[in-house]
Structure 1
Amino acid sequence: MKVLVTGATGNTGRHVVSGLRDAGVDVRVLVRDPAKAPEGTEAVVGDITDPAEAAEGVDAVYFVWPFYSAEGIDKAVKPFKDKKIAYVSSAAAEEGGFWGDVEEAVRNVTGDWTFLRITGLATNTLGWVGQAKTGKVRAPYGQAKRSLVHEKDVADMAIKAFTEDHARQIYLVTGPEALSQADQVRIIGEALGTPAKWEEQPIEEAITQLGEEFAKSALPYWASLVDDPEPVSLDVAKVTGHPARSFDDWARERFS
Protein backbone atom coordinates (compact mmCIF):
# COMPACT_ATOMS: atom_id res chain seq x y z
CA MET A 1 0.00 0.00 0.00
CA LYS A 2 1.09 3.55 -0.72
CA VAL A 3 -0.55 6.42 1.15
CA LEU A 4 -0.57 10.07 0.13
CA VAL A 5 -0.38 12.31 3.18
CA THR A 6 -1.57 15.87 2.74
CA GLY A 7 -0.61 18.36 5.43
CA ALA A 8 2.42 16.16 6.08
CA THR A 9 4.37 18.87 7.91
CA GLY A 10 1.39 19.96 10.01
CA ASN A 11 0.21 19.11 13.50
CA THR A 12 -1.37 15.75 12.68
CA GLY A 13 0.22 14.90 9.34
CA ARG A 14 3.76 14.53 10.65
CA HIS A 15 2.54 11.90 13.13
CA VAL A 16 0.60 10.11 10.40
CA VAL A 17 3.79 9.94 8.33
CA SER A 18 5.90 8.52 11.16
CA GLY A 19 3.20 6.04 12.18
CA LEU A 20 2.72 4.75 8.65
CA ARG A 21 6.45 4.37 8.14
CA ASP A 22 6.71 2.46 11.43
CA ALA A 23 3.97 0.17 10.08
CA GLY A 24 5.98 -0.46 6.92
CA VAL A 25 3.68 1.55 4.65
CA ASP A 26 5.07 3.52 1.69
CA VAL A 27 4.37 7.23 2.12
CA ARG A 28 4.10 9.99 -0.45
CA VAL A 29 3.69 13.57 0.75
CA LEU A 30 2.23 16.60 -0.97
CA VAL A 31 4.36 19.62 -0.08
CA ARG A 32 5.06 23.11 -1.36
CA ASP A 33 8.72 22.92 -0.36
CA PRO A 34 10.46 19.58 -1.00
CA ALA A 35 13.17 20.51 1.50
CA LYS A 36 10.54 20.21 4.24
CA ALA A 37 9.37 16.73 3.24
CA PRO A 38 9.69 14.24 6.13
CA GLU A 39 12.63 11.87 5.90
CA GLY A 40 11.96 8.58 4.15
CA THR A 41 9.01 9.83 2.11
CA GLU A 42 8.44 10.43 -1.58
CA ALA A 43 7.75 14.13 -2.07
CA VAL A 44 5.54 15.63 -4.75
CA VAL A 45 5.51 19.41 -4.98
CA GLY A 46 2.04 20.85 -5.35
CA ASP A 47 -1.04 22.22 -3.68
CA ILE A 48 -4.06 20.52 -2.12
CA THR A 49 -6.38 22.39 -4.48
CA ASP A 50 -4.88 20.48 -7.44
CA PRO A 51 -3.40 17.18 -6.21
CA ALA A 52 -3.74 15.14 -9.42
CA GLU A 53 -0.02 14.42 -9.81
CA ALA A 54 0.41 13.51 -6.16
CA ALA A 55 -2.61 11.17 -6.22
CA GLU A 56 -1.45 9.15 -9.21
CA GLY A 57 -0.58 5.59 -8.22
CA VAL A 58 -1.44 5.79 -4.52
CA ASP A 59 -3.96 3.54 -2.79
CA ALA A 60 -5.07 5.82 0.01
CA VAL A 61 -5.12 9.47 1.06
CA TYR A 62 -4.86 11.23 4.41
CA PHE A 63 -6.90 14.28 3.55
CA VAL A 64 -6.77 17.63 5.30
CA TRP A 65 -8.77 20.52 3.83
CA PRO A 66 -7.31 23.69 5.39
CA PHE A 67 -9.91 26.20 4.21
CA TYR A 68 -13.05 27.54 5.89
CA SER A 69 -15.02 27.08 2.68
CA ALA A 70 -15.86 24.16 0.39
CA GLU A 71 -15.07 26.21 -2.71
CA GLY A 72 -12.91 24.12 -5.03
CA ILE A 73 -13.43 20.88 -3.13
CA ASP A 74 -14.88 18.90 -6.06
CA LYS A 75 -11.78 19.55 -8.16
CA ALA A 76 -9.51 18.75 -5.22
CA VAL A 77 -10.99 15.32 -4.47
CA LYS A 78 -11.63 14.21 -8.06
CA PRO A 79 -8.14 12.62 -8.36
CA PHE A 80 -8.93 10.52 -5.27
CA LYS A 81 -11.66 8.56 -7.07
CA ASP A 82 -12.09 5.03 -5.66
CA LYS A 83 -9.18 5.41 -3.24
CA LYS A 84 -9.32 4.87 0.52
CA ILE A 85 -9.67 8.29 2.17
CA ALA A 86 -9.30 9.25 5.82
CA TYR A 87 -10.58 12.82 6.09
CA VAL A 88 -9.96 14.99 9.14
CA SER A 89 -13.34 16.64 9.54
CA SER A 90 -15.02 18.46 12.41
CA ALA A 91 -17.68 17.64 14.96
CA ALA A 92 -19.46 20.63 13.39
CA ALA A 93 -20.09 18.54 10.26
CA GLU A 94 -23.05 17.05 12.12
CA GLU A 95 -24.78 20.38 11.52
CA GLY A 96 -23.76 20.55 7.86
CA GLY A 97 -22.03 23.75 6.76
CA PHE A 98 -18.84 23.64 4.72
CA TRP A 99 -17.53 20.70 6.78
CA GLY A 100 -20.56 18.71 5.69
CA ASP A 101 -20.05 19.84 2.10
CA VAL A 102 -16.48 18.53 2.12
CA GLU A 103 -17.63 15.19 3.54
CA GLU A 104 -20.25 14.94 0.80
CA ALA A 105 -17.63 15.63 -1.87
CA VAL A 106 -15.49 12.80 -0.47
CA ARG A 107 -18.48 10.44 -0.46
CA ASN A 108 -19.08 11.28 -4.11
CA VAL A 109 -15.65 10.01 -5.23
CA THR A 110 -15.22 6.87 -3.13
CA GLY A 111 -17.11 4.36 -1.07
CA ASP A 112 -14.05 3.69 1.09
CA TRP A 113 -14.04 6.75 3.32
CA THR A 114 -13.48 7.29 7.04
CA PHE A 115 -14.37 10.61 8.66
CA LEU A 116 -12.45 11.67 11.76
CA ARG A 117 -14.61 14.40 13.25
CA ILE A 118 -12.55 16.27 15.82
CA THR A 119 -13.80 18.76 18.40
CA GLY A 120 -10.56 20.70 18.23
CA LEU A 121 -6.83 20.13 18.52
CA ALA A 122 -4.91 20.78 21.72
CA THR A 123 -2.44 22.69 19.54
CA ASN A 124 -5.12 25.37 19.13
CA THR A 125 -4.07 26.62 22.57
CA LEU A 126 -0.50 27.40 21.48
CA GLY A 127 -1.59 30.98 20.85
CA TRP A 128 -1.91 31.43 24.61
CA VAL A 129 1.64 30.38 25.43
CA GLY A 130 3.21 33.82 25.11
CA GLN A 131 0.69 35.28 27.54
CA ALA A 132 0.91 32.25 29.85
CA LYS A 133 4.63 32.87 30.28
CA THR A 134 3.74 36.26 31.80
CA GLY A 135 1.40 34.54 34.27
CA LYS A 136 -1.91 35.68 32.78
CA VAL A 137 -4.00 34.89 29.69
CA ARG A 138 -6.62 37.47 28.79
CA ALA A 139 -9.36 36.02 26.58
CA PRO A 140 -13.16 35.55 26.56
CA TYR A 141 -15.24 32.71 28.02
CA GLY A 142 -12.81 31.11 30.43
CA GLN A 143 -15.50 28.68 31.60
CA ALA A 144 -16.15 27.34 28.09
CA LYS A 145 -15.40 23.62 28.32
CA ARG A 146 -13.62 21.90 25.44
CA SER A 147 -12.62 18.27 24.84
CA LEU A 148 -9.51 19.06 22.82
CA VAL A 149 -7.70 16.12 21.25
CA HIS A 150 -4.00 15.31 21.13
CA GLU A 151 -2.73 15.36 17.54
CA LYS A 152 -1.16 11.92 18.03
CA ASP A 153 -4.62 10.45 18.66
CA VAL A 154 -5.88 11.83 15.36
CA ALA A 155 -2.88 10.25 13.65
CA ASP A 156 -3.41 6.91 15.41
CA MET A 157 -7.03 6.88 14.23
CA ALA A 158 -5.98 7.58 10.65
CA ILE A 159 -3.36 4.84 10.67
CA LYS A 160 -6.00 2.36 11.84
CA ALA A 161 -8.27 3.55 9.02
CA PHE A 162 -5.54 2.66 6.52
CA THR A 163 -4.37 -0.62 8.02
CA GLU A 164 -7.76 -2.03 9.06
CA ASP A 165 -11.29 -1.95 7.66
CA HIS A 166 -13.04 1.23 8.79
CA ALA A 167 -14.82 1.99 5.53
CA ARG A 168 -17.89 4.24 5.78
CA GLN A 169 -17.31 4.94 9.45
CA ILE A 170 -17.69 8.29 11.18
CA TYR A 171 -15.72 8.69 14.40
CA LEU A 172 -15.94 11.49 16.94
CA VAL A 173 -12.35 12.11 18.00
CA THR A 174 -12.02 13.94 21.33
CA GLY A 175 -9.90 14.20 24.41
CA PRO A 176 -10.88 12.16 27.50
CA GLU A 177 -12.58 15.07 29.28
CA ALA A 178 -14.02 18.53 28.70
CA LEU A 179 -11.86 21.11 30.45
CA SER A 180 -12.60 24.79 30.87
CA GLN A 181 -10.34 27.13 28.95
CA ALA A 182 -9.23 28.54 32.31
CA ASP A 183 -8.13 25.04 33.38
CA GLN A 184 -6.28 24.59 30.10
CA VAL A 185 -4.32 27.78 30.82
CA ARG A 186 -3.55 26.56 34.34
CA ILE A 187 -2.24 23.25 32.97
CA ILE A 188 -0.10 25.03 30.36
CA GLY A 189 1.36 27.20 33.11
CA GLU A 190 2.17 24.17 35.24
CA ALA A 191 3.94 22.51 32.31
CA LEU A 192 5.88 25.72 31.62
CA GLY A 193 6.83 26.03 35.28
CA THR A 194 5.13 29.45 35.42
CA PRO A 195 1.77 29.61 37.23
CA ALA A 196 -0.77 31.11 34.84
CA LYS A 197 -4.32 32.26 35.40
CA TRP A 198 -7.21 33.32 33.20
CA GLU A 199 -8.41 36.91 33.01
CA GLU A 200 -11.82 37.36 31.42
CA GLN A 201 -11.70 39.67 28.42
CA PRO A 202 -14.62 41.97 27.55
CA ILE A 203 -16.41 40.82 24.41
CA GLU A 204 -15.91 44.07 22.48
CA GLU A 205 -12.19 43.91 23.13
CA ALA A 206 -12.14 40.27 22.02
CA ILE A 207 -13.89 41.14 18.74
CA THR A 208 -11.24 43.74 17.99
CA GLN A 209 -8.43 41.32 18.80
CA LEU A 210 -9.85 38.30 16.96
CA GLY A 211 -11.19 40.15 13.95
CA GLU A 212 -14.87 40.60 13.26
CA GLU A 213 -15.22 37.72 10.78
CA PHE A 214 -13.67 35.06 13.03
CA ALA A 215 -15.31 36.45 16.16
CA LYS A 216 -18.72 36.19 14.51
CA SER A 217 -18.55 32.39 14.58
CA ALA A 218 -16.12 31.72 17.43
CA LEU A 219 -17.62 33.82 20.22
CA PRO A 220 -21.17 32.41 20.09
CA TYR A 221 -19.71 28.89 20.00
CA TRP A 222 -17.47 29.48 23.02
CA ALA A 223 -20.40 31.07 24.85
CA SER A 224 -22.49 27.95 24.24
CA LEU A 225 -19.79 25.77 25.81
CA VAL A 226 -20.12 27.42 29.20
CA ASP A 227 -23.37 25.55 29.90
CA ASP A 228 -23.14 22.86 27.21
CA PRO A 229 -19.57 21.45 27.08
CA GLU A 230 -18.14 19.76 24.03
CA PRO A 231 -18.88 16.03 23.95
CA VAL A 232 -16.47 13.37 25.10
CA SER A 233 -16.26 10.25 22.95
CA LEU A 234 -14.75 6.81 23.53
CA ASP A 235 -14.01 6.32 19.82
CA VAL A 236 -10.25 6.78 20.23
CA ALA A 237 -10.11 3.92 22.72
CA LYS A 238 -12.49 1.79 20.66
CA VAL A 239 -10.46 2.10 17.46
CA THR A 240 -6.87 2.37 18.68
CA GLY A 241 -7.02 0.19 21.78
CA HIS A 242 -5.59 2.92 24.02
CA PRO A 243 -7.40 5.70 25.89
CA ALA A 244 -7.35 9.20 24.49
CA ARG A 245 -4.36 11.21 25.66
CA SER A 246 -5.21 13.96 28.13
CA PHE A 247 -4.57 17.69 27.85
CA ASP A 248 -2.09 17.25 30.71
CA ASP A 249 -0.25 14.66 28.59
CA TRP A 250 -0.14 17.06 25.67
CA ALA A 251 1.09 20.02 27.72
CA ARG A 252 3.83 18.04 29.44
CA GLU A 253 5.07 16.69 26.09
CA ARG A 254 5.11 20.19 24.62
CA PHE A 255 6.58 22.25 27.43
CA SER A 256 8.21 20.13 30.13
Structure 2
Amino acid sequence: MTILVTGATGAVGRQVVQQLAKRGADVRALVRDPSKANFPVGVDVVQGDLLDVDSLRSAYSGVSTLFLLNAVVPDEYTQALIALNVAREAGIERIVYLSVIHSDLYVNVPHFAGKFGVERMIEKMGFNATILRPAYFITNDMTIKDVVTGYGIYPMPIGSKGLAMVDPRDVGEIAAIELVRREQAAGPLALDRINLVGPDTLTGADVASIWTQVLGRPITYPGDDTAGFEKNLRQFMPSWMAFDMRLMSERFLTEGMIPEAGDVERLTALLGRPLRSYRDFVSEIATSA
Protein backbone atom coordinates (compact mmCIF):
# COMPACT_ATOMS: atom_id res chain seq x y z
CA MET A 1 0.00 0.00 0.00
CA THR A 2 0.95 3.66 -0.37
CA ILE A 3 1.92 6.48 2.01
CA LEU A 4 0.65 9.89 0.86
CA VAL A 5 2.58 13.01 1.89
CA THR A 6 0.85 16.40 1.77
CA GLY A 7 2.85 19.63 1.79
CA ALA A 8 5.49 17.57 0.04
CA THR A 9 7.55 20.43 -1.43
CA GLY A 10 7.92 22.32 1.86
CA ALA A 11 10.80 22.30 4.33
CA VAL A 12 9.40 19.37 6.32
CA GLY A 13 7.39 17.57 3.65
CA ARG A 14 10.40 17.26 1.35
CA GLN A 15 12.39 15.70 4.19
CA VAL A 16 9.56 13.25 4.88
CA VAL A 17 9.44 12.15 1.23
CA GLN A 18 13.20 11.67 1.09
CA GLN A 19 13.29 9.72 4.34
CA LEU A 20 10.42 7.47 3.27
CA ALA A 21 12.06 6.79 -0.09
CA LYS A 22 15.31 5.98 1.72
CA ARG A 23 13.40 3.38 3.73
CA GLY A 24 11.94 1.77 0.61
CA ALA A 25 8.37 2.91 1.21
CA ASP A 26 5.81 3.27 -1.58
CA VAL A 27 5.45 7.09 -1.55
CA ARG A 28 2.98 9.43 -3.21
CA ALA A 29 3.50 13.20 -2.97
CA LEU A 30 0.59 15.63 -3.21
CA VAL A 31 1.78 18.96 -4.66
CA ARG A 32 0.20 22.09 -6.09
CA ASP A 33 3.03 22.64 -8.56
CA PRO A 34 4.62 19.49 -10.03
CA SER A 35 7.50 21.57 -11.43
CA LYS A 36 8.79 21.91 -7.85
CA ALA A 37 8.64 18.16 -7.21
CA ASN A 38 12.32 17.24 -7.37
CA PHE A 39 11.95 13.95 -5.51
CA PRO A 40 13.85 10.64 -5.48
CA VAL A 41 13.18 8.21 -8.31
CA GLY A 42 10.07 6.15 -7.71
CA VAL A 43 8.06 8.78 -5.84
CA ASP A 44 4.58 9.12 -7.38
CA VAL A 45 3.76 12.81 -7.82
CA VAL A 46 0.11 13.89 -7.99
CA GLN A 47 -1.21 17.40 -8.42
CA GLY A 48 -3.88 18.61 -6.06
CA ASP A 49 -5.02 20.92 -3.31
CA LEU A 50 -6.46 20.27 0.14
CA LEU A 51 -9.51 22.37 -0.75
CA ASP A 52 -10.11 20.48 -4.00
CA VAL A 53 -12.17 17.46 -2.94
CA ASP A 54 -11.97 15.79 -6.35
CA SER A 55 -8.17 15.99 -6.44
CA LEU A 56 -8.04 14.64 -2.88
CA ARG A 57 -10.25 11.71 -3.73
CA SER A 58 -7.99 10.89 -6.65
CA ALA A 59 -4.79 11.29 -4.61
CA TYR A 60 -6.17 9.11 -1.79
CA SER A 61 -6.95 6.18 -4.09
CA GLY A 62 -4.95 3.17 -2.92
CA VAL A 63 -3.47 5.06 0.04
CA SER A 64 -3.21 3.30 3.39
CA THR A 65 -1.33 5.90 5.47
CA LEU A 66 -1.48 9.72 5.35
CA PHE A 67 1.02 12.37 6.41
CA LEU A 68 -1.03 15.53 6.93
CA LEU A 69 0.78 18.86 6.92
CA ASN A 70 -1.02 22.18 6.49
CA ALA A 71 0.74 25.43 5.73
CA VAL A 72 0.01 28.54 7.82
CA VAL A 73 -2.73 30.03 5.65
CA PRO A 74 -6.06 31.72 6.48
CA ASP A 75 -8.07 28.56 5.78
CA GLU A 76 -5.62 26.10 7.38
CA TYR A 77 -8.27 24.65 9.70
CA THR A 78 -10.79 24.14 6.90
CA GLN A 79 -8.13 22.44 4.77
CA ALA A 80 -7.34 19.99 7.56
CA LEU A 81 -10.97 19.14 8.27
CA ILE A 82 -11.68 18.48 4.59
CA ALA A 83 -8.52 16.38 4.25
CA LEU A 84 -9.48 14.26 7.25
CA ASN A 85 -13.09 13.79 6.22
CA VAL A 86 -12.11 12.74 2.71
CA ALA A 87 -9.51 10.40 4.22
CA ARG A 88 -12.20 8.77 6.32
CA GLU A 89 -14.41 8.47 3.23
CA ALA A 90 -11.50 6.78 1.40
CA GLY A 91 -11.01 4.28 4.21
CA ILE A 92 -7.66 5.68 5.37
CA GLU A 93 -7.21 4.97 9.07
CA ARG A 94 -3.46 5.52 9.65
CA ILE A 95 -2.36 9.14 9.98
CA VAL A 96 0.65 11.12 11.10
CA TYR A 97 -0.32 14.76 11.66
CA LEU A 98 2.13 17.66 12.01
CA SER A 99 0.72 19.86 14.77
CA VAL A 100 2.73 22.18 17.04
CA ILE A 101 4.01 22.02 20.60
CA HIS A 102 1.86 23.67 23.31
CA SER A 103 -1.16 24.14 21.05
CA ASP A 104 -3.22 23.83 24.24
CA LEU A 105 -1.34 26.76 25.85
CA TYR A 106 -1.04 29.15 22.90
CA VAL A 107 -4.82 29.28 22.66
CA ASN A 108 -5.05 32.83 21.25
CA VAL A 109 -2.57 32.22 18.41
CA PRO A 110 -4.54 31.41 15.25
CA HIS A 111 -2.36 28.71 13.72
CA PHE A 112 -1.83 27.04 17.10
CA ALA A 113 -5.55 27.09 17.93
CA GLY A 114 -6.37 25.62 14.53
CA LYS A 115 -3.96 22.74 15.04
CA PHE A 116 -5.38 22.12 18.51
CA GLY A 117 -8.82 21.75 16.91
CA VAL A 118 -7.47 19.32 14.33
CA GLU A 119 -5.90 17.23 17.09
CA ARG A 120 -9.31 16.99 18.79
CA MET A 121 -10.93 15.92 15.52
CA ILE A 122 -8.33 13.21 14.93
CA GLU A 123 -8.93 11.90 18.44
CA LYS A 124 -12.74 12.01 18.25
CA MET A 125 -12.85 10.37 14.82
CA GLY A 126 -10.80 7.48 16.16
CA PHE A 127 -7.97 7.60 13.64
CA ASN A 128 -4.96 5.34 14.19
CA ALA A 129 -2.67 8.37 14.54
CA THR A 130 0.56 9.89 15.70
CA ILE A 131 0.39 13.60 16.43
CA LEU A 132 3.77 15.28 16.07
CA ARG A 133 4.20 18.52 18.01
CA PRO A 134 7.32 20.38 16.88
CA ALA A 135 8.78 23.39 18.66
CA TYR A 136 10.27 26.42 16.89
CA PHE A 137 12.12 25.43 13.74
CA ILE A 138 15.82 26.25 13.89
CA THR A 139 15.77 27.10 10.19
CA ASN A 140 13.35 29.99 10.80
CA ASP A 141 16.51 31.89 11.68
CA MET A 142 17.86 31.60 8.14
CA THR A 143 15.83 34.74 7.45
CA ILE A 144 17.69 36.84 10.04
CA LYS A 145 21.26 35.77 9.30
CA ASP A 146 22.02 39.05 7.51
CA VAL A 147 20.67 41.05 10.45
CA VAL A 148 22.86 39.11 12.87
CA THR A 149 26.00 39.38 10.77
CA GLY A 150 25.36 42.92 9.53
CA TYR A 151 24.09 44.64 12.66
CA GLY A 152 25.41 42.48 15.49
CA ILE A 153 22.02 41.70 17.00
CA TYR A 154 19.77 38.67 17.27
CA PRO A 155 16.36 40.23 16.48
CA MET A 156 13.87 37.43 17.15
CA PRO A 157 11.84 38.21 20.32
CA ILE A 158 12.07 34.77 21.89
CA GLY A 159 12.38 35.90 25.51
CA SER A 160 13.91 34.38 28.60
CA LYS A 161 11.71 31.31 29.19
CA GLY A 162 13.49 29.31 26.50
CA LEU A 163 12.62 27.55 23.23
CA ALA A 164 13.60 23.94 22.53
CA MET A 165 14.41 24.69 18.88
CA VAL A 166 14.25 21.69 16.52
CA ASP A 167 15.85 21.02 13.14
CA PRO A 168 13.28 20.25 10.38
CA ARG A 169 15.54 17.43 9.19
CA ASP A 170 14.96 15.70 12.52
CA VAL A 171 11.22 16.41 12.24
CA GLY A 172 11.10 14.84 8.79
CA GLU A 173 13.02 11.76 9.82
CA ILE A 174 10.88 11.12 12.91
CA ALA A 175 7.73 11.60 10.81
CA ALA A 176 9.01 8.98 8.35
CA ILE A 177 9.81 6.57 11.18
CA GLU A 178 6.28 6.94 12.54
CA LEU A 179 4.66 6.62 9.11
CA VAL A 180 6.53 3.38 8.42
CA ARG A 181 5.75 2.06 11.91
CA ARG A 182 2.03 2.61 11.40
CA GLU A 183 2.07 1.42 7.78
CA GLN A 184 3.75 -1.86 8.72
CA ALA A 185 1.76 -2.57 11.90
CA ALA A 186 -0.38 -5.69 11.72
CA GLY A 187 -3.25 -3.90 13.43
CA PRO A 188 -4.33 -0.54 14.84
CA LEU A 189 -1.86 1.23 17.12
CA ALA A 190 -2.88 3.51 19.97
CA LEU A 191 -3.03 7.27 19.45
CA ASP A 192 0.35 8.78 20.27
CA ARG A 193 1.65 12.32 20.72
CA ILE A 194 5.32 13.19 20.37
CA ASN A 195 6.89 16.54 21.23
CA LEU A 196 9.59 17.30 18.66
CA VAL A 197 12.31 19.37 20.30
CA GLY A 198 15.99 20.06 20.02
CA PRO A 199 18.67 19.06 22.55
CA ASP A 200 18.82 22.52 24.17
CA THR A 201 16.24 24.97 25.48
CA LEU A 202 17.55 28.41 24.54
CA THR A 203 16.72 31.96 25.57
CA GLY A 204 17.35 35.05 23.46
CA ALA A 205 20.56 35.68 25.38
CA ASP A 206 21.64 32.06 24.86
CA VAL A 207 21.14 32.31 21.10
CA ALA A 208 23.06 35.58 20.91
CA SER A 209 25.88 33.92 22.85
CA ILE A 210 26.03 31.04 20.35
CA TRP A 211 26.27 33.48 17.44
CA THR A 212 28.98 35.38 19.34
CA GLN A 213 31.04 32.22 19.83
CA VAL A 214 30.64 30.99 16.24
CA LEU A 215 31.28 34.36 14.57
CA GLY A 216 34.01 35.40 16.99
CA ARG A 217 32.52 38.85 17.61
CA PRO A 218 29.84 40.23 19.93
CA ILE A 219 26.21 39.60 19.05
CA THR A 220 23.62 41.04 21.43
CA TYR A 221 19.98 40.29 22.18
CA PRO A 222 18.19 43.68 22.19
CA GLY A 223 15.03 42.50 23.94
CA ASP A 224 11.43 41.46 23.47
CA ASP A 225 9.91 44.01 21.09
CA THR A 226 6.97 42.07 19.67
CA ALA A 227 5.36 45.18 18.16
CA GLY A 228 8.56 45.91 16.22
CA PHE A 229 8.68 42.26 15.18
CA GLU A 230 5.17 42.52 13.69
CA LYS A 231 6.08 45.76 11.91
CA ASN A 232 9.13 44.19 10.30
CA LEU A 233 7.22 41.08 9.23
CA ARG A 234 4.57 43.18 7.50
CA GLN A 235 7.19 44.20 4.95
CA PHE A 236 7.15 40.73 3.39
CA MET A 237 4.02 38.90 4.56
CA PRO A 238 0.27 39.65 4.86
CA SER A 239 -0.85 41.67 7.88
CA TRP A 240 -2.91 38.77 9.29
CA MET A 241 0.16 36.49 9.25
CA ALA A 242 2.45 39.12 10.77
CA PHE A 243 -0.08 39.60 13.58
CA ASP A 244 -0.32 35.81 14.06
CA MET A 245 3.48 35.69 14.40
CA ARG A 246 3.40 38.55 16.90
CA LEU A 247 0.84 36.72 19.03
CA MET A 248 3.06 33.64 18.91
CA SER A 249 6.11 35.63 19.98
CA GLU A 250 4.17 37.09 22.91
CA ARG A 251 3.53 33.54 24.11
CA PHE A 252 7.24 32.80 23.70
CA LEU A 253 7.75 35.47 26.34
CA THR A 254 5.10 34.19 28.76
CA GLU A 255 5.23 30.42 28.18
CA GLY A 256 8.37 29.53 26.23
CA MET A 257 8.52 26.18 24.44
CA ILE A 258 9.69 23.84 27.15
CA PRO A 259 10.12 20.08 26.61
CA GLU A 260 8.49 17.59 28.91
CA ALA A 261 10.62 15.20 30.92
CA GLY A 262 12.04 12.48 28.68
CA ASP A 263 11.31 14.22 25.34
CA VAL A 264 14.96 14.56 24.28
CA GLU A 265 15.79 11.02 25.33
CA ARG A 266 12.79 9.61 23.45
CA LEU A 267 13.70 11.39 20.22
CA THR A 268 17.35 10.42 20.52
CA ALA A 269 16.32 6.79 20.88
CA LEU A 270 13.96 7.00 17.88
CA LEU A 271 16.67 8.47 15.67
CA GLY A 272 19.51 6.36 17.04
CA ARG A 273 21.70 9.47 17.13
CA PRO A 274 21.90 12.87 18.86
CA LEU A 275 19.46 15.60 17.86
CA ARG A 276 20.84 18.40 15.71
CA SER A 277 21.52 21.51 17.78
CA TYR A 278 21.16 25.24 17.20
CA ARG A 279 24.93 25.55 17.45
CA ASP A 280 25.25 23.00 14.62
CA PHE A 281 22.87 25.11 12.54
CA VAL A 282 24.73 28.37 13.14
CA SER A 283 28.06 26.70 12.37
CA GLU A 284 26.63 25.41 9.07
CA ILE A 285 25.27 28.75 7.84
CA ALA A 286 27.65 31.29 9.39
CA THR A 287 30.14 31.18 6.54
CA SER A 288 27.71 30.45 3.70
CA ALA A 289 26.97 33.12 1.11
TM-score, scaled to structure 1: 0.85
- Cα offset for 1:229? 5.6
How far is the alpha carbon of 1:146 from its aligned partner? 0.7
Report the Cα offset of residue 202 of structure 1.
Answer: 4.3
Shift of residue 34, structure 1, vs aligned partner: 0.8
- Residue 143 of structure 1 deviates from its aligned partner by 3.3
Q: How does 1:20-99 map to 2 (within 5 A)?
A: 20-37=20-37, 38-40=39-41, 41-50=43-52, 51-67=56-72, 69-81=76-88, 82-95=92-105, 97-99=113-115
Aligned partners of 1:62, 1:253: CA distance in 2, in Å? 29
1:181 equivalent to 2:208? Answer: no
How many residues end up aligned between the 2 structures?
A: 254
Q: Is the 8 A contact 1:77 1:109 kept in 2?
A: no
With 41-50 and 103-112 compared, the bigger mean Cα shift is at 103-112
Counterpart of 1:246 in structure 2 is 277
In structure 1, the residue corresponding to 2:160 is in which secondary structure? coil
Aligned residue type for 2:4: L
State the alpha-carbon separation in 1 of the partners of residues 57 and 199 from structure 2.
38
Task: Give the Cα–Cα distance (whole angstroms) in 1 for the partners of residues 173 and 156 of structure 2.
Answer: 32
State the TM-score, normalizing by the size of structure 2. Answer: 0.76
Residue 216 of structure 1 and its aligned partner are, at CA, apart by 5.2
Q: Which runs of 4+ in 1 moved over 4 A?
A: 188-195, 201-204
Q: In structure 2, which of residues 133, 142, 154 is the aligned counterpart of residue 126 of structure 1?
A: 142
Say if 2:224 and 2:253, in contact at 8 Å, map to a contact too.
no
Shift of 1:28: 0.9
Contact 1:144 1:222 in 2 (8 A): yes
d(CA) in 1 for partners of 2:215, 2:9: 25
Q: Which residue of 1 aligns with 2:164?
A: 147
Contact 2:4 2:27 in 1 (8 A): yes
Match of 2:251 among 203, 215, 221: 221
Q: CA deviation at 1:22?
A: 0.9
Unaligned runs of 5+ in 2: 108-112, 183-188, 235-241
SS at match of 1:231: coil
Kindly indicate whether the alpha-carbon contact (under 8 Å) linking 1:32 and 1:47 is maintained by their aligned counterparts in 2. Answer: yes
CA RMSD of aligned residues (A): 2.7
Describe the SS at the equivalent of 1:146. Answer: coil
Look up the match of 1:164. Answer: 181
Shift in CA distance, 217/22, structure 1 to aligned 2, threshold 3 Å: same
Give percent identity, aligned residues only.
26
CA distance, structure 2, for counterparts of residue 255 and residue 59 of structure 1: 42
- Match of 1:57, as an amino acid? G
Is the 1:132–1:189 Cα contact (8 Å) retained in structure 2? no
Q: Which amino acid aligns with 2:275?
A: A
In structure 2, the residue matched to 1:209 is 232
* Residue equivalent to 1:15: 15
| Counterpart in the other structure of 2:2 | 2
- Determine the C-alpha separation between the residues in 1 that align with 2:162 and 2:210: 14
Query: Residues of 2 paired with 1:155 and 1:7: CA distance?
Result: 12
